[in-house]
Chains A and B, each alone.
Chain A
Amino acid sequence: MSAGASSRSRLAHTHLTGAAPAERVDFGRRVLVLRRWKVAVRVEWRSVTVCAGLALAVACMAVLALMTGSYQLSPGQVVSALTGGETGLVHDVVVEWRLPRVAAAVVFGAALGVSGAVFQSILRNPLADPSVIGFSQGSYTGALIVILVVNGTYQQLVGGALLGGMATAVAVYALAYRRGVQGFRLIIAGIGVSAMLGSLNTWLILKADLDQAMSAAAWGAGSLNGVAWNQVIIGGVCIAALLLVAGMLSRPMRQLELGDEAAASQGVRVSPARLGLVVVGVALTATVTAASGPIAFISLVAPQIARRLARTGGITFAPAAFVGALLCLAADYIAQHVAPTPLPVGIITVMLGGGYLGWLLFTEARRRL
């Protein structure tokens, strides 16, 4: 960042926050450190406001989702059910049906947002998400085989999907590995393997009866229908742990964005760091896939929207997580209550996310005119 931009940002910071004490504290330091610190603060301040705004939006959306449903309940009933004042079906509808679904949308959406951020950062490509290394296609293949060939139970389906996704990710990583993994090679290997599995999936669907093919397609779309607490809690614990790891890896990730040499010169162990990031990114998506099927497009679009909202240069986790949560929640609301017939949430995320990103691009293009 140039000195000019830096001093402007410093101005903006002091102007907006009026943070005189911070200034005073810093005067004793060297200029370089001060400037770097300043930039960091500016970025974080903007991120914090954006995150706070997004959190508020998520909360509002969650309340709306809790209040809405085809089982007619007054706001009073909903509140009383949430505080434990109701029994029977009213309690079930609010606490056992609506609440886990809302929680799932928030947690899973956030996980997908972060997962996408990880991949876009390490591959330095805004079109990247975990599907780049074949996870989506692989998990779909696994699920299809369970549905069509083994005709298994839901637990087997989840197992098959995870196994398929993980195996594919490992295979792609191994195929791209040649004295280290390089972004370009990873993408091409991912495209190749995904294309093969995608074809296999198309063929499996072609060979199935219509009923089974429809079931498989419904799973493949990604749905939060019928999500229960145990799924949310197990998924939530996994996701929380993974987010923690992601947070720990965020500094090396930022440095990797500058290039392998630059990162290495700052003491980052490039290969382990990248492998760790890939594992975290895949694991986040895998957890969501296990609980709800592959909910598409959030991981692709959330980091991009977050980057534009927070106006950060690179990819950051927190805004991406909040955007992901909001996107997933809003999409599920639309899928349940706005669409003419209840639809899998994945179909709406695709349209909503795609539409929003398209609109952003459009307005950006207009502004440039």
Chain B
Amino acid sequence: MITAPPRRRGAAPAAVLLGVALVLTACGSDADAGTRADETRSFEADNGTIEIPVDPQRIVAIGSAATYLSLGMEPVGMPRASGSELPWLSAEEKQINEAAVDTGEEVDYETVASLEPDLIVVHEPSHILPGYNEERFQSIAPTVYIEQDTANWKSQYERLADAVGELDNFEADKTEYETLAADVKDEYADLLDSTTFMVLNRWSGGTNPGETGTIFLEYPDSFCTNYAGDAGLKILPDSPPTSEEEDTGKDLSMEQLSDTVADADVLIYPLGPDGSVKPEFAPVLDSNIWKSLPQVPDGRAIGVQCRTIYTYSAKISNLESLEEALATLPEAG
């Protein structure tokens, strides 16, 4: 399966870069030394051990803006959030998003340099592309690379928070998330014990928006199931094919839907930021095949919000939505 292959390679290049990075960091901090007499510390990043400021003041954040914003940080520059991420942002996050200088879809090094950052954080897989020149980043300011994927997001998110000095916000979100997950687990203990769930999704990329061609069945620990697992939901199929460890799920055609979901007690379909069904999934709900599924007329098909970025705040709002949806199940009352 090609979807979401493992992203953590490059240990060897990282080791090579380590030496370069150390030398360059020294150069970088030399240039800055006059302006601030701040302390630095060693930070373990994907690109090696980097000397970064203990309390960075001017951070340029390259990668998913929404992830940075979720930490409550205020980057001086970043590729601004746009399009599909905007409706998910809080008013405050939108303000910070607007206030940051846009470093562009293609990283504009001169813009980054003119912002005089004391720390650059890069967290996206595309840094292997020609546009990403680590040497150049390091010559502007200490630069740390931190990548995330479905499997390692919790630990990598923590490292990200650590690097940008927002561990307090991170801990608060993490605690809130864990409490909420435990609450759900507790409150619906009986129901969760006796019920199996199947999580369906559709991506506009994998399927046409208006078309009901294929549906995505999410395996446990995938985009919209990782938080559900923490809340104690039994997600089917419970033993997905293990040959591809990183598999996030599989495509189903509409024809196969009725057979595939037959074993599940409850079906979960995705909701968007405004609480209504995700536009990509709406045609499925309208289809005759969906309506003919036994779970649907019984009220055992529930919509749960699915925000896929790897942050605790996203997972918290997903959990809240799940809690509401579980309450509507016939068994809950």
Q: Which of A's residues lie within 8 Å of B, judged by CB?
A: 69-72, 88-89, 92-93, 96-97, 147-149, 151-154, 157, 204, 206-215, 218-219, 223, 225-228, 291-293, 336, 341-344
Contacts and interface: CB of A to CB of B under 8 A. Distances in A.
Nearest to B12: A153
Interface stretch (B101-109, B171-179, B188-196, B269-277): B101-109
A336 B108 contact: yes
Nearest to B79: A341
B105 A151 contact: no
Contact of B5 (A70, A151, A342): A151
A293 B130 CA distance: 8
B87 interface: no
Interface string B1-38: 11111110110010000000000000000010000000
B13 A149 contact: no
B253 interface: no
Given A208-B2, A342-B105, A342-B106, A219 B114 contact: no
Nearest to A68: B110
Contacts of B111: 70-71
A341 B104 contact: yes
11 contacts: A93-B110, A93-B113, A153-B10, A157-B128, A208-B3, A211-B124, A218-B131, A228-B133, A291-B130, A341-B105, A341-B106
B206 interface: yes
Nearest to B8: A151
B49 to A, nearest CB: 20
Nearest to A154: B128
Interface stretch (B135-143, B259-267, B285-293, B320-328): B135-143
Contacts of B203: 210
Contacts of B132: 154, 226
Interface residues of B, number: 38
Contact of A151 (B6, B124, B130): B6
B8 to A, nearest CB: 9
Overall SS of chain B's interface: loop
A219 B130 contact: yes
A305 to B, nearest CB: 26
B125 interface: yes
A206 B203 CA distance: 10
Nearest to B7: A151
A228 B105 contact: no
A225 B133 CA distance: 9
B4 A209 contact: yes
Interface in B76-110: 102, 104-110
Contacts of A336: 108
A157 to B, nearest CB: 6
A32 B125 CA distance: 66
Given A89-B31, A92-B139, A148-B2, A226 B130 contact: yes
A39 to B, nearest CB: 45
B128 A226 contact: no
Interface in B132-171: 132-133, 135-136, 139-140
Nearest to A209: B4
Nearest to A156: B128
B9 A226 contact: no
B205 interface: yes
Given A157-B129, A210-B203, 5 more contacts: A147-B128, A148-B5, A152-B9, A215-B128, A341-B105
Given A209-B3, A228-B135, A342-B108, A154 B31 contact: no
B42 interface: no
Which of B124, B128, B133, B140 has the largest number of chain A CB atoms within 10 A? B128
B126 interface: yes
Contact of B136 (A152, A213, A226, A341): A226
Contact of B102 (A151, A206, A341): A341
Contact of B106 (A92, A152, A153, A343): A343
Which of A88, A215, A228, A344 has the largest number of chain B CB atoms within 10 A? A215
A227 B102 CA distance: 21
A175 B304 CA distance: 53
A242 to B, nearest CB: 21
A218 B105 CA distance: 9
Contact of B13 (A93, A153, A212, A218): A153
B126 A211 contact: yes
Contact of B131 (A149, A209, A225): A225
Contacts of A157: 128-129
B104 A342 contact: yes
A225 B3 contact: no
A226 B5 CA distance: 26
A223 B111 CA distance: 17
B50 to A, nearest CB: 19
A206 B206 contact: yes
A201 to B, nearest CB: 12
